[in-house]
Amino acid sequence: MKQPLILYFACLALIVSNLSCMPTRRIAEGEWFYLGARVEFKGDLPEQPKKVRAELLEMARPQPNEKLLGLYPRLGIYNAFAEKKKGIGKWLREKLGRPPVTYKPELAERSRLRMEKYLKDNGYLQASIGQEMEARKKKAAAVYEIHTGARYTIGSVDWPKDSTPLQALLEQQQPGSRLAPGRPYQLSQLEEERSRLARAGAEAGFFQLSSENFFYYLDTALAQHQVGLYLRVAPPPEGGIFRRHYIGETTIHPTYELGEQGAGVRMDTLETEGFKFIQTQDFVRLPVLQRAVLQRQGELYVRSQQQKSVNRLLGLGPFKFVNLKYQQREQGDSMFLDRQFFLTPGLTQDFSAELEASSLGSNSLGSALNINYTHRNFLGGAERFSLSLSTGILTQLGKDVRFLNSFDFSLEGRLSFPSLLAPFGLIRAERAWQARSVASLGSEFERRATQYTLQSFRGQFSYQWQPGSLHQHELSPLQLTWVSTRNTSPAFEERLLANPRLRASFGNYFIASVAYQYNYNEQKPQQREDYLFLQARAEAAGNLSYGLSNAIKGRQEAPYAFFGVPFAQFLRLEGDIRYHNYFTRGGSWIVRANLGAALPYGNSGAIPYIRQFFVGGANSIRAFQLRELGPGSNTDGFAPQQGVSDQTGDVKLELNAEYRFPLFSYLHGAVFVDAGNIWLAGPATTDGQRNDGLFEWDNFYREIAVGTGLGFRLDVTYFVLRLDMAFPLRRPFAGEGFRWVINDIALGSGSWRQENLALNLALGYPF
């Protein structure tokens, strides 16, 4: 059965390959198969000719058929099934094929005009472009002959001179202008200057001012290959001069819906502290809304403060839309802006569930379920309450092994308030787009069937604030965690006795820590623009406990205890950086680096187990199971007799690269490479104990695991269902250390797939 199927696909591939070699097969008489565009510079070369050539070719239309190794595979698929009206052939033609692209003179002429405009907009004011068709054997290419001429530079810039209030602002902005004599003339620089001046005016009270009010006269007769720029300001629509505006009356509609002003709708009106509230019912407490709105009556209008007010209102959570409208009003010699905020309530409660599964071979299956409930107006003051429940199991099939190897359960409740409850005004909430105080309580239960039971309780209070669209901060001045280890098996006790570091990381202990996290994110929702993401987190534990213990009880014999429980003392740092690069035809490339290090000191001989690092699983190095790798060249995580893998370390290095591309409709594909490992920190022991897994600068790079694979993503906007199939390229072996296993890859072997192929099913992208 397998041989005929393989033969069928081989014949199909051969047919498609042959048809890919005949791109003109379905070109009608009088048409030409389009080979693409070619740019030829005549005379003087432009500055950065390679860059200019690439940008000009990007403007050429149409785009030719995709080519791979001299063939046209998508065109071959289209030709192979061109006559199919239904069935799999029709589906392949429409989803994977692409019809032949033909040369069109009207598109070539349009491209020529675009290229010429591009050159003139970038200073080549005497540029001219000729275009002709180069044809042979029903194939044609568009050839563009470019005469750029000399590039013009700015000779002088003339600014307006009058006695209006706007003139004073322009004089302040003039030193910061990028339009200076000697710089190349570029239309984009003029547009940026217009926008810069308009933003400065909007921040200084000039409500009506926009970039459209600024324009330039150009004088090309100033000198040879120089342009004189004359900046001028168009008056407001009603004439006269631009005047500064001040904040007038502020009205907020907390329950606004389209048509709410209709007959039969009862509206309640309340005025307090310069604000007017009009609503159909009580929804969010009014002082909360009042605090979210920046600037008060009589203050000079600042546009950024108005946008920040809209963001702060949206950030409260209960509203799905926030619209701001202005009404100009003249009073005496001053202009005022009366503001109206229209807030449309959204759903205050939602429920979500996520499922994740992974498998390595046929005898191991892991799954996890996460359930989340959120209420965005819990106490009527835009308080956000969330309850999260997570559970996971790892099963194993085979002789003399437990079916249920591992069971995890966690529960966490969080309550956040829409203000910073900070003493002495240490954090200025009015400067932030969004600011919240968050209190949380949680518990985790972890059972390793053949090893131990770990239970922890934690409480945390933190401040979160966002000063702008790119930056986020979180300060947790108080984090308390209590950990208890019990039901340890004799085999696990032997492991603890043989490994002092492992023994020190388990047991009963208390963690009192302070943490700070910073996020930088350039990503814009629903926009395909390159972006950088950076996250850095630092946690220091045990210092306060150490000081209090010393102050209350004086010098003691180590380890010190707090309320009868030994406390941990360590410093933990972690950073995550990602860069996402989008391509023009739907694909994208994302690279990521995740690094972490933790150092125990003082009262601790090792990092607590729950604060240690690990790698592997659906969102890490996907060719390996969760906690299977490390530390270093250690292979205990691969030993079947150990049961569930539980390898952790003090140092972490993880590198990921993934190319994502569309397949058809909602289905996307990905090819990825993951690399990394974990290590232990600290000096080597001299008491005869094992030093496996220690991080060493001159050796760590030899202990990097590498995996690769292929993934599919069903992206339907509201959620992403992801399946990643991965296998190792480099892994550790007992007694040998790390070595490459590329030559061992045998995708057709069932035993190889069982031992090496990892399947990861999850919701959402890995990073």
With helix as H, strand as E and coil as C, how does 385-420 read?
Answer: EEEEEEEEEEEECCCCCCCEEEEEEEEEEEEEECCC
Handedness of CA 742, 746, 747, 753 (dihedral sign): negative
Residue 464, CA distances (Å) to 34, 310, 597 in order: 56, 18, 24
Q: Please give, one letter per residue, the 3-state secondary structure of 629-667.
A: CCCCCCCHHHCHHHCCCCCCECEEEEEEEEEEEEEECCE
A 10 A CB-CB count for 66 gives 13
Question: Could you give the CA distance from residue 225 to residue 152 in angstroms, rounded to a whole number?
Answer: 5
Whether 284 contacts 419, CB under 8 Å: no
Whether 191 contacts 199, CB under 8 Å: no
Q: Which of 657, 544, 689 is nearest to 590 (CA)?
A: 657
What is the predicted pLDDT for the residue at 202? 95
What is the predicted pLDDT for the residue at 519? 96
Which residues pair with residue 337 across a beta bridge? 247, 328
Residue 18, CA distances (Å) to 12, 22, 91, 440, 655 in order: 10, 7, 20, 64, 41
- Six token digits for residue 203: 């921040």
Exposure of 490 by Cβ count < 10 A (0-12 exposed, 13-18 middle, 19+ buried)? exposed
Question: Could you give the CA distance from residue 724 to residue 42 in angstroms, rounded to a whole number?
Answer: 51
Q: Which of 417, 358, 353 is nearest to 382 (CA)?
A: 417
Instruction: Tell me how far apart the terminal alpha carbons of the chain are, to the nearest angstrom.
Output: 41
Residue 738, CA distances (Å) to 181, 682, 751 in order: 61, 22, 21
Number of H helices, E strands in the chain: 13, 30
Angle between helices 73-80 and 87-95 (to 10 degrees): 150
Which residues pair with residue 626 across a beta bridge? none
Question: What is the pTM (predicted TM-score) of this model?
Answer: 0.78
A 10 A CB-CB count for 69 gives 6
Q: Which amino acid is at 712?
A: F
Q: What is the DSSP letter of 624?
A: S
Averaged pLDDT in 10-residue chunks for the chain of 767 residues? 44 48 75 92 91 92 82 82 83 82 93 96 94 90 94 94 88 92 94 96 95 93 90 89 94 85 72 90 93 93 94 92 95 94 94 76 70 95 95 66 74 93 57 82 89 91 88 93 89 81 83 95 86 96 81 71 83 97 83 96 88 91 89 78 72 96 83 95 61 85 94 83 92 88 89 88 85
Q: Which of 417, 405, 483 is nearest to 445 (CA)?
A: 483
Examine residue 62 and say whether the peptide bond preceding it is cis (omega within 30 degrees of 0): yes
Which residues pair with residue 641 across a beta bridge? none
Alpha carbon dihedral 259, 265, 268, 274, in 10-degree steps, equals: 20
